[in-house]
Structure 1
Amino acid sequence: MELFFLFSMGFGKELLLLGLACALGNCVLRCENGFSYNRTTKNCTDVNECSENPLFCGNHSRCFNTFGSYYCQCQPGFSLARTKEVNFTATTGSCHDINECTDSENKEELCGPNGECNNIIGSYWCNCSNGYTNYSVERTPCSKLDCDNFRAEKKPTQLLGGLANIMSMMRNSCLALSGTGSKVKLDGDALLEKLFTETDAMLSPGTPNIDASVSGLLTAVEKSILFIGPQLKDNHTKMENNKIDAQIAVQRGTTRPTGDIRLSSEYAYLDTDWATAAGTRKYPGFAVAALLSYKNLESSVNRSFEMVKGAKENGADPSYQVFSKVVSVVVSNPSTQKLSRSVNITFRHLEDIEESVNVSYICAYWTETGAWSTDGCSKQDSNASRTICTCNHLSSFAVLMALHPIEHTYGLELVTKIGLTISLLCLTLCILTFKFCRSIQGTRTTIHLHLCICLFIADLIFLAGISQTKPVGGCRFVAAMLHFFFLAVFTWMLLEGVQLYRMVVLVFNATMRPLYLYAVGYGTPLFIVIISACVRPNGYGTKKYCWLSTDDGFVWSFFGPVCLVIFVNVFFFIITVWKLAQKFASLNPDLSNLHKIKAFTVTAIAQMCILGLMWISGVFLFQEDPPIAVSYIFTIFNSLQGALVFIMHCLLSKQVREEYANFLSCICTSQKKRYSDLSTTNPSSSQSQGSKSGQQTGESQI
């Protein structure tokens, strides 16, 4: 009855009765091993053996409590002895030291071939031979120290004082670290601070011959950072003074580090990864990556741009200047001449200046020979305040601002604006002449009218939008319109050649219906533009001009039809001249008509030569580096072609001159008549006005 009461009180499953002894009415309740009876809760609760007796597991082991029991685990560097007991206790003394130097599977790689492994309780340490070190990190393989890296190639008296001090300090520290063959405790942070102090003194204003020692300084600081990095206490160290800013990251361990590296300062931002920093050679147990920014070194390296491969503008070489702080990227990877993955460096400009026709930005690095070079570096993106560079090798970098000469650009713009303005005025006169001059109306005049209309619109768009490259959509529209109207000009010129051929060969019915002329004159270029836009819509618009791109030969969607028109017209003109010669040699030639056709042919050939020469030079103009002479030839022909068309088709035409004379005589006659009318009517009117005024005066007097 009492046993049933105990279960009914809710002791649960943890309450396990191993025996129930009753004497004189008293019952004794017993719990399982690992549990104890709680009189307050009247329940069996778990016993934490690890807290009650920390020595349950013995030395060099850790105790872990479980529900109703516990288990032991050996600390790193110790292993479990082979005993019959699964859960050993303090009495077994089962955890014993592992001799990594003899029992490890990779014992030969623990300290490397130039290090001696020494076992200690729970661990080991490497004793490196002379010339090798593990940078006081006990369980790190021994790496070779080449202290000759800090040996000055020149005599100390020939070196700049600060640079000689840096080299001497680093060489002494290197020898102290590797010369004794024992563990040498060096303070990497203190050594880094000394390096910064010497660098600050060397870059102070008034230091003589600093420009000549820049390459040596950059190399010495990079080597020093590689030597100091493994000795730093923290995984990330930042140190800054008046002349230099350093961000240093260190990873230590028995396995190669992975993941991204992002180091930033006020002047630059580095984006790379630990695989690049560690390299592919044997891993020494650590990896270092550093970003060094020099605050006032740009003035000392603002020279030696002979190796810079910058784009030319207007056929002239640009001038350069350093436009960011000089930045060095240092990693422990010994092979940085050809990285498997490029590093990205973002530079902040010294001033906020947008790229333009005469300003561009170039990524460059400082070579060991003391000059800037662009090999292996390219610009990924740029705006007014910063430039992102990507490089497949590591060194000291900076952004160069290229200043392109603008004298030729200004001259070309001036010639273009003046010439196209004259051309537009002359084309306006041509359009009015061909539209309203009745004596010259016909198929040929219709062709000339629409040729001038297309040329007028093309020149107007060229003047207003050829250089308006932003926005991109607007630039593409301008390029497409220029493509259409210039093609239409050549199409109407082809129709003129066909018409001349018909006038000579087909004496009768030589006219062509206007509907057919419009269909060919505007339909053909429209068809070509639509096909070109469908095949490659991004081909319209370039970085410099709103014209057809030269990539993949897209520009030949214009030059191809132009060449075809020129060749066909040459064929027609040869036949026309041949037929004219035959007719002049005939017995009864119609001299007046033949002389008229001859004049038409000469003007058509001259017109074709003008437009042909313009676009032959245009083939070279839109290349990457057009010669300045080609630019001027194209600009002159393009800007004056309207004036030349007016001279050839209007001023040199006898019929048109007669119409101009009649028009001017009519204007003069009407003006004379108006003046004579005024002179005959004025007296009477004055008299009448006088009489009226007199009457009015008289009336007023009455």
Structure 2
Amino acid sequence: MLPNMVLKWALLLLGLFLLCCESHECKEGFQKINRTCVDEDECERPNLCGDNARCLNTLGSYYCICDEGFESKPPNFTADKGQCVDINECFKKKVECSSEKECVNTLGSYNCSCPKGYRDSECADNDECERTDVCGTNANCYNYEGSYSCKCHQGYSNYGNDQSKCIEINCDEFKIESDMEEMPKQWKDLLTRLRNSCESLSGPDGGRQTGEQLLENLFTSTDELLTDGSIASGEMLSQFLGAVENSMRLIGPQLKEPVTTMETHNTFAEVAVTRSQTPPTGSVTLSTDSALFNTSWETVVGNSYPGFAFVALVSYKDLNSSSDQFHKISRTSQEQESRERSDVKGKNITYQLNSNVVTAVVSNPETKQLSEPVMLIFTHTEERAESGGVAYSCVFWNEAEGAWSGRGCERAWSNGTHTGCSCSHLSSFAVLMALYPIQDSFELVLITRVGLGLSLVCLFLCILTFRFCRSIQGTRNSIHLHLSVCLFIADLVFLCGISSTHNKVACSIVAGLLHYFFLSSFCWMLLEGVQLYRMLVLVFENTIKHLYMYAVGYGVPLAVIIISAISYPQGYGTDRHCWLSLEFMWSFFAPVCIIVVLNSLVFVMTVWKLAEKFSSLNPDLSKLRKIRGFTVTAVAQLCVLGGMWVFGCFLFQNEGTQVLLYLFTILNSLQGALIFIMHCLLSKPVREEYCKLISRICSQKEKKYSEFSTNVSSNSQRPLRSDQTTGESKI
């Protein structure tokens, strides 16, 4: 019995042991095969150790062993620790070659080779001059131990690059012609220095000039010209830009550094130069403070490669504002603009540069028609997005026409801050902003004409009321009368002459009249505020001498007009409307804002005093209520008329939305109707006079009708008289 129990317990323990063994996982580097953990051969994985190495399997792991000529970092690494790298035997092992040869490292090995300029196994000198194309036909080749040099013929130069081919050089480009006598002395001195440098390069002995020094001299003279404003005509601008381009062709190849950047007060330049036996390839990008220029080295080199190439970008900071003549656009471009924008045909389009002028120069002499276009990205000097009234064009300075032209340049894209241009030739470029005349919408014109017509009728009724209504005669009534007269004349002139832009003299007169009468209206509003203050504070003293009123109401605006016309006469009248120009608008809005502020202070003081009077023990309620009514209408008038024009000031400055524009137009055109409502229809004495007038008119009509009826009845009762001759009755 006991042995059987022991056997059962043994079998049970064995089963538990086998069960535990089956659930046990193998260690890393092992794999389970038939419930047994065996070593995994990691080297069977493809490219485990990477290039230049072989894999060695170990129990539970592996090693990567680098091939000969390579080393691992760190040594004996696994695949997740790095790769094998080449050993530079010439540096680490310090391999020694014979005196004629030099060690050259290769991938996984090295060799001893002859230096450049030598050949065969014995490193004999290689006579490069045996090749006819090494210096070209415009130079003599001179061989010497290990190298050679090219000596250019007279009239040719390799710009100091002795192992480059020689190209023809024209120093007459820097000659001072007879038509350049008007150019400043510093510019003539610069041309003389550049001509001397050019002649030394093209001489039989060549001669390497300091390109950096020439570049500094060029931009020093350029700064003086731009600062003094010496470039004052299109002809001088053509000469200036042409001289800069020729100068960069002379200076660029002489610069030592691969990339040279130079910035002065008025210029910014970046030049890239490359020298090699083979032509460069790929993209090249230059940038200044205001533009970016992108092209390819293939475009820079062109069809022939002499052994060097350069590309330059020059930006002029103040050239875009030197003269108004520089904003001219060629006739061809104007015709193209008219075709593209038929809605502005026959209208005056204003052109303005909205970027710095840049000059792009490459070593390729054939740049009139490039094989592939270049890209220029300009930064706008004025951040302004395109709209119905603004459009951007990519242009270059056309020396033949003395104007900006868009031929060969297309606008790739544009936003409020930058414009991208794609051009098929190289020259001096800029972004031209066309300011189109904005056409007033039919709805705005209709609202203006209808509103002004209604205002004229209402103002005419106001003038008759204030002049002939006896119950409201007084100082305040006189102020309202002159206010209505000024607004009536201003609205009438506005309605009849605001669009008379075809005649500049008449347009200036219309703008001056509008300026005067609108200012006069605000001066009479100021007098109304002063009158209210006198009525309440100065013991109801309500009389202002008419001489003082006329001096303020008509004399002050006249003084403002005279000063404005003398200081800036061209501010009266624009190409679009007979009103003040935008930069001259301060001559109207400054006095208006001052009057509104003063009137606001007067009305605040008036309301304060009025509240004190009402709170006193024995107030004169009838007079106080009368003054309160006057104050309410005056404040309402100030808010409607004064607030409207102050609001219009911000509208013009910020180019408001259509909703704000319509609101301003409606309030401005209905100001006469608003005055009639406030001072006539809402005034009880005036309403009573209107009622009396209507009653008299009606009574007179009834009286005439009754008289007519009486006469008719009496005539019907009277016997008819017979004619003695004919016997017929007469009626």
Task: Normalising by structure 2, report the TM-score.
Answer: 0.48
- Cα deviations by residue, 1:525-548 (Å, 9 ceiling, x for unpaired): 112222222233233334444333
Residue 358 (structure 1) shift: 9.5
Matches within 5 A, 1:348-359: 348=332, 349-350=335-336
Taking the aligned partners of 1:587 and 1:495, their CA distance within structure 2 comes to 31
Distance 1:137-1:458 versus aligned 2 partners, 3 A rule:
farther
Query: Is the contact made by 2:394 and 2:431 (CA closer than 8 Å) also made in structure 1?
Result: no
Structure-1 residue corresponding to 2:490: 458
Structure-2 residue corresponding to 1:533: 565
Q: Does 1:663 align with 2:629?
A: no
Question: Which AA in structure 1 matches 2:726?
Answer: T
Matches within 5 A, 1:611-626: 611-623=641-653, 625-626=655-656
Question: Which AA in structure 1 matches 2:330?
Answer: T
Secondary structure (helix, strand or coil) at the match of 2:625 reads helix
Matches within 5 A, 1:680-691: 680-685=710-715, 690-691=720-721
Structure 1: 5+ residue runs without aligned partners?
1-113, 119-123, 146-177, 184-229, 232-250, 262-268, 286-329, 381-385
Query: Is the contact made by 1:479 and 1:540 (CA closer than 8 Å) also made in structure 2?
Result: yes
Query: Is the contact made by 1:347 and 1:398 (CA closer than 8 Å) also made in structure 2?
Result: no
Query: Is the contact made by 2:352 and 2:432 (CA closer than 8 Å) also made in structure 1?
Result: yes
Secondary structure (helix, strand or coil) at the match of 1:280 reads helix
Question: Which AA in structure 2 matches 1:279?
Answer: S
Structure-1 residue corresponding to 2:614: 584
Taking the aligned partners of 2:556 and 2:660, their CA distance within structure 1 comes to 29
Query: Is the contact made by 1:614 and 1:634 (CA closer than 8 Å) also made in structure 2?
Result: yes
Residue 435 (structure 1) shift: 0.6
Most deviating of 528-537 and 667-676:
528-537
Q: Does 1:346 align with 2:361?
A: no
Matches within 5 A, 1:174-189: none
Question: Which AA in structure 1 matches 2:509?
Answer: F
Taking the aligned partners of 2:709 and 2:142, their CA distance within structure 1 comes to 124
Question: Which AA in structure 2 matches 1:462?
Answer: F
Matches within 5 A, 1:437-456: 437-456=469-488
Question: Which AA in structure 2 matches 1:652?
Answer: L
Of 600, 604, 622, the residue aligned with 1:574 is 604
- Cα deviations by residue, 1:1-28 (Å, 9 ceiling, x for unpaired): xxxxxxxxxxxxxxxxxxxxxxxxxxxx
Structure-2 residue corresponding to 1:423: 455
- Cα deviations by residue, 1:347-371 (Å, 9 ceiling, x for unpaired): 4114587666796668899984599
Distance 1:401-1:521 versus aligned 2 partners, 3 A rule:
closer
Query: Is the contact made by 1:271 and 1:345 (CA closer than 8 Å) also made in structure 2?
Result: no
- Cα deviations by residue, 1:32-88 (Å, 9 ceiling, x for unpaired): xxxxxxxxxxxxxxxxxxxxxxxxxxxxxxxxxxxxxxxxxxxxxxxxxxxxxxxxx
Taking the aligned partners of 2:658 and 2:565, their CA distance within structure 1 comes to 31
Q: Does 1:394 align with 2:427?
A: yes
Distance 1:141-1:604 versus aligned 2 partners, 3 A rule:
same
Structure 2: 5+ residue runs without aligned partners?
1-132, 144-148, 181-234, 254-301, 303-308, 321-325, 356-371, 383-391, 396-400, 407-420
Structure-1 residue corresponding to 2:530: 498
Taking the aligned partners of 1:255 and 1:519, their CA distance within structure 2 comes to 69
Matches within 5 A, 1:86-485: 139-142=155-158, 252=170, 256=174, 272-273=238-239, 274-282=242-250, 335=312, 337-338=314-315, 346-348=330-332, 349-350=335-336, 368=374, 388-389=403-404, 394=427, 406=439, 409-485=441-517
Question: Which AA in structure 2 matches 1:555?
Answer: M
Residue 504 (structure 1) shift: 1.5
Query: Is the contact made by 1:279 and 1:333 (CA closer than 8 Å) also made in structure 2?
Result: no
Question: Which AA in structure 1 matches 2:604?
Answer: I
Matches within 5 A, 1:641-656: 641-656=671-686
Distance 1:428-1:276 versus aligned 2 partners, 3 A rule:
same
Question: Which AA in structure 1 matches 2:727?
Answer: G
Taking the aligned partners of 1:375 and 1:541, their CA distance within structure 2 comes to 27
Distance 1:506-1:360 versus aligned 2 partners, 3 A rule:
closer
Distance 1:411-1:699 versus aligned 2 partners, 3 A rule:
closer
Distance 1:622-1:543 versus aligned 2 partners, 3 A rule:
farther
Question: Which AA in structure 2 matches 1:540?
Answer: Y
Count of residue pairs the alignment pairs up: 422
Matches within 5 A, 1:54-73: none
- Cα deviations by residue, 1:446-486 (Å, 9 ceiling, x for unpaired): 01000111111122222333344443333332222222111
- Cα deviations by residue, 1:402-437 (Å, 9 ceiling, x for unpaired): 77774x633322221111111111111101110111
Question: Which AA in structure 2 matches 1:346?
Answer: S
Matches within 5 A, 1:536-615: 536-551=568-583, 554-615=584-645
Structure-2 residue corresponding to 1:150: none
Taking the aligned partners of 1:387 and 1:617, their CA distance within structure 2 comes to 44
Distance 1:337-1:509 versus aligned 2 partners, 3 A rule:
closer
Secondary structure (helix, strand or coil) at the match of 2:156 reads coil
Query: Is the contact made by 1:461 and 1:478 (CA closer than 8 Å) also made in structure 2?
Result: yes
Distance 1:335-1:473 versus aligned 2 partners, 3 A rule:
farther
Distance 1:497-1:133 versus aligned 2 partners, 3 A rule:
farther
Question: Which AA in structure 2 matches 1:698?
Answer: G
Taking the aligned partners of 1:410 and 1:128, their CA distance within structure 2 comes to 82
Distance 1:254-1:525 versus aligned 2 partners, 3 A rule:
closer
Distance 1:128-1:452 versus aligned 2 partners, 3 A rule:
farther
Residue 345 (structure 1) shift: 6.4
Query: Is the contact made by 2:523 and 2:595 (CA closer than 8 Å) also made in structure 1?
Result: yes
Question: Which AA in structure 2 matches 1:487?
Answer: L
Structure-1 residue corresponding to 2:519: 487
Residue 337 (structure 1) shift: 4.7
Q: RMSD across aligned C-alpha pairs, in angstroms?
A: 5.0
Taking the aligned partners of 2:721 and 2:665, their CA distance within structure 1 comes to 69
Taking the aligned partners of 1:364 and 1:501, their CA distance within structure 2 comes to 52
- Cα deviations by residue, 1:83-103 (Å, 9 ceiling, x for unpaired): xxxxxxxxxxxxxxxxxxxxx
Task: Normalising by structure 1, report the TM-score.
Answer: 0.50
Distance 1:532-1:670 versus aligned 2 partners, 3 A rule:
same
